[in-house]
């Protein structure tokens, strides 16, 4: 099964030994995006809403590099540093996935890279 690596400068570079996304068998597996501004490299920390917005913009950029959009996402996983931020994150998330949203899980974790408050990974289908 051949694997195609997806990369774009319009999203933050990987902060470890992994690809922004990889495609195999018609699926694009997007690595978790945290709220790093790709232009400045700074973490967006103003609010969970602002952080979620940046995460989803980063995810859009990675998907665009693969020729896809958020409408092609079939599964997403949201990681929150604090489940009390769920409603704020969910309000922004809902704006990016109108109509028929993907399947999703949302979990609270003890810590995220760079102490981000939210991270989202996704799987899209071609």
Instruction: Read off the tokens for 109.
Output: 């974790």
In terms of phi and psi (left: phi > 0; alpha: psi -120 to 50; beta: otherwise), the region of 69 is beta
- CA separation, residue 19 to residues 28, 59, 79, 96, 111 (Å): 11, 13, 19, 23, 21
Q: Pick the catalytic residue: 43, 49, 65, 106? A: 106
Rg of the chain over Cα atoms, rounded to whole angstroms, equals: 14
The fold of 4-125 is 60s Ribosomal Protein L30; Chain: A; (3.30.1330)
Q: What is the Cα–Cα distance from 84 to 98, expressed in whole angstroms?
A: 23
How crowded is the C-beta side of 122, counted as CA atoms within 13 Å?
Answer: 27
pLDDT of the chain, 126 residues: tens digit per residue: 789 999 999 999 987 899 999 999 999 999 999 999 999 999 999 999 999 999 999 999 999 999 999 999 999 999 999 999 999 999 999 999 999 999 999 999 999 999 999 999 999 999
Q: Reply yes or no on whether 30 is catalytic.
A: no
**Would you give the distance in Å from CA 81 to the centre of its chain?**
15
Instruction: Enumerate the domain spans of the chain.
Output: 4-125
């Amino acid at each position: 099964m051949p694997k195609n690596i997806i990369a774009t400068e319009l999203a933050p570079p990987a902060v470890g030994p992994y690809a922004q996304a990889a495609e195999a068998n018609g699926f694009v597996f997007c690595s978790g995006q945290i709220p790093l501004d790709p232009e400045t490299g700074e973490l967006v920390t103003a609010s969970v809403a602002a952080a979620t917005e940046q995460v989803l913009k980063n995810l859009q950029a990675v998907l665009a590099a693969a020729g896809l959009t958020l409408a092609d996402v079939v599964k997403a996983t949201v990681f929150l540093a604090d489940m009390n931020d769920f409603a704020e994150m969910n309000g922004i998330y809902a704006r990016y996935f109108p109509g028929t949203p993907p399947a999703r899980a949302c979990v609270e974790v003890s810590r995220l890279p760079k102490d981000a408050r939210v991270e989202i990974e996704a799987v899209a289908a071609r």
